[in-house]
Structure 1
């Protein structure tokens, strides 16, 4: 059984096999874990194709029994399928242009295609700027002209891009006949967007580093707990609501800090600061909001983190926080749960399918409800066990959800079902 994967990003295994430098795992792709769990597998021959527009020519290599191809773009897909002769094509993700191109090439070659839903761009586009004032969501012609020369992160541009990605997703799923996902949220999306497709549930296998080693444990943080947010650079991740929740947390814990994985807002000094602020309006909004509420000193950015550094950042926090306005099955939540960390999350997308409220973590209702978020954070921080019981229950759930062997077997089973023509 020969399966060809199409993956948008260059996985660390592909970079290493093809001789590319810097094969780190800063991206946090859970596919590194799924790939490691699948190989070697006696019933499976696997070719992984990635695209990287920076490459001048196609690259190829082999590692641990897997063949890797890194292509500059979609132009080589037909030739790739002709050369590899796979039995089935598995496309990871729906919204990027290469997905549609590979879907078309596979259809022309008469090959069955399995589509994996990653996020659900339709819903992400709807909720992208929830809670952000209109003044920050609209930029004038001058700033759009500057953006064409020196790209920033104008929210109206970001919204337009998300809308386009949602349309691409709908086009790909509208032609899909086989779809796999993880949560009730994406099952419902598949029912709406891919009504002719068979849906196959299959959970994620996360990065191998999170299955071994030291686990989270409660610590004596006194009046200075650390809240850990895995992403805060665009509004869907809802940093602004966390900022609005911080004053209530700091009333009880004056030294509380929020550690945010990723780059800090760009600052090139006072002369360029007004221009940069206007080109990055969401960061400007969060900066102003934090200053207005007196919590600017609570925000600490970690810089980009590879898997090992990200793991350590979880362990050094006291509560994991996921307040997103929309999520499918967030990898960061699964990683925190695997480490036994107490989690507070919004009731968004597929999150309730991963985390049982009150038993494995705390889920608050509306993602923009800062008061409810603050109450949940304080409930964990003031618990006599520091959230240990929640974290232990979360870990037990995650070990089942993200069981590498079970998920690899499930995926191979999906391939076999499709190839045998036994789809329900």
Structure 2
């Protein structure tokens, strides 16, 4: 069985196989994990194509039995499929332009195509800027002129981008015959957007490093617990509600620290600060919020973290917070659970399918409810065991949800089911 994968990012394995100097594992962990598990299969041949617009020419390489191609664009998919002769095409993700181009090329060649839904862009677009004051949402003509010279992160531009991605996702799913997902949330989205498609459930396999080594241990943190947030650079991840929740936590633990994985807000000194503030309104809002609440000294940005550094960041924290306004099955939550770190998360999207409230972690009501978030974090930090029981139960659940061999078996079973329904013809 020969399966052709299309993914929207360059996987570390692909970068290594094709001789690229950059082989970062900061993103795409669910793909890396599933690919690693599938490489053990003797009944499966894989070709993996990664789309990377930075490349001027297509690259090809092989590593551990998998053929990799890094493509500069979506041109030439039909000749590529004719050359590779796969039995089935698996498109990972629904919203990027190459996904639609690959689906059309495979359909024209009568190759069965499976679409893997990752996020649900319709929901992401609907909630992208929830809770951000209107004053930060709309750019001026001057802002837009400056943005054309020095690209920033204007929120109305970001909203338009998410709206376009949601439309692309709806168009692709509207034509899909086979879709795979993981949660009741994405199943409902597929039912609405792709009512004629056959839905298959298959959980994600996470980065291999999170299945091995030391586990989280509760520690005596005194006045200074560490709260960890995996992302905070755009509104969907809801840093603004965490900032609003922090003063209540500081009343109990006055030296608490909020660590935010990723780059800090851009700062090029006082001369350029007004310009940057105009071009990055969400960062401006969060900075003002932190200053107004008197909590700026309690925030620490870690910079980008690879798998090993992110793993250590979980182990160094006392609670992981996932306050997102929209999620399907967030990898960061799965990774924290695998390590046994107690977690507090919003009830957004598919999160309740991953973690049972009160047993494997704590879910709080509306994502924008700062009081409920603060209460849930306080409950974990004040537990006599430091949240260890929640963390242990979370790990047991995650080891089942993200079991590499089981998920590889499930995915191969999906491939076989589709091929039994649509026997492959020569192209």
Deviation at 1:78, TM superposition (A): 1.1
Q: Does the CA contact (< 8 Å) of 1:100 and 1:172 recur in 2?
A: yes
Aligned partner of 1:37 in structure 2 is 37
Q: Does the CA contact (< 8 Å) of 1:8 and 1:51 recur in 2?
A: yes
Q: What does 1:289-368 correspond to in 2, within 5 Å?
A: 289-368=289-368
For 1:74, what is the secondary structure of its paired residue?
coil
Aligned partner of 1:412 in structure 2 is 412
Aligned partner of 1:209 in structure 2 is 209
**Normalising by the residue count of structure 1, what TM-score does the alignment of the two structures yield?**
0.99
**Normalising by the residue count of structure 2, what TM-score does the alignment of the two structures yield?**
0.98
Do residues 126 (structure 1) and 126 (structure 2) align? yes
Q: What does 1:22-421 correspond to in 2, within 5 Å?
A: 22-421=22-421
For 1:227, what is the secondary structure of its paired residue?
strand
**Structure 1 residues 84-93 or 68-77, which shifts more?**
68-77
Q: For residues 257 and 277 of structure 2, what CA distance do their matches in structure 1 show? A: 23
Q: Does the CA contact (< 8 Å) of 2:236 and 2:324 recur in 1?
A: yes
Q: For residues 53 and 279 of structure 1, what CA distance do their matches in structure 2 show? A: 24
**Structure 1 residues 179-188 or 19-28, which shifts more?**
19-28
Runs of 4+ in 1 over 4 A off after TM superposition: none
Q: Does the CA contact (< 8 Å) of 2:155 and 2:282 recur in 1?
A: yes
Q: For residues 290 and 77 of structure 1, what CA distance do their matches in structure 2 show? A: 48
For 1:68, what is the secondary structure of its paired residue?
strand
Q: For residues 362 and 27 of structure 1, what CA distance do their matches in structure 2 show? A: 26
Deviation at 1:57, TM superposition (A): 1.2
For 1:219, what is the secondary structure of its paired residue?
coil
Aligned partner of 1:18 in structure 2 is 18
Q: Does the CA contact (< 8 Å) of 1:40 and 1:64 recur in 2?
A: no
For 1:218, what is the secondary structure of its paired residue?
coil
Q: For residues 323 and 28 of structure 1, what CA distance do their matches in structure 2 show? A: 21
For this pair of structures, how many residues does the alignment match? Answer: 423
Deviation at 1:191, TM superposition (A): 0.2
Q: Does the CA contact (< 8 Å) of 2:11 and 2:28 recur in 1?
A: no
Q: Does the CA contact (< 8 Å) of 1:235 and 1:282 recur in 2?
A: yes
Deviation at 1:76, TM superposition (A): 2.1
Q: Does the CA contact (< 8 Å) of 1:228 and 1:260 recur in 2?
A: yes
For 1:75, what is the secondary structure of its paired residue?
coil
Q: Does the CA contact (< 8 Å) of 2:9 and 2:28 recur in 1?
A: no
Q: Does the CA contact (< 8 Å) of 1:28 and 1:307 recur in 2?
A: no
Q: For residues 64 and 8 of structure 2, what CA distance do their matches in structure 1 show? A: 21
Deviation at 1:28, TM superposition (A): 4.6
User: RMSD of the alignment, in Å?
Assistant: 0.9
Deviation at 1:422, TM superposition (A): 8.1
Deviation at 1:214, TM superposition (A): 0.3
For 1:329, what is the secondary structure of its paired residue?
coil
Q: For residues 29 and 382 of structure 1, what CA distance do their matches in structure 2 show? A: 32
Unaligned runs of 5+ in 1: none
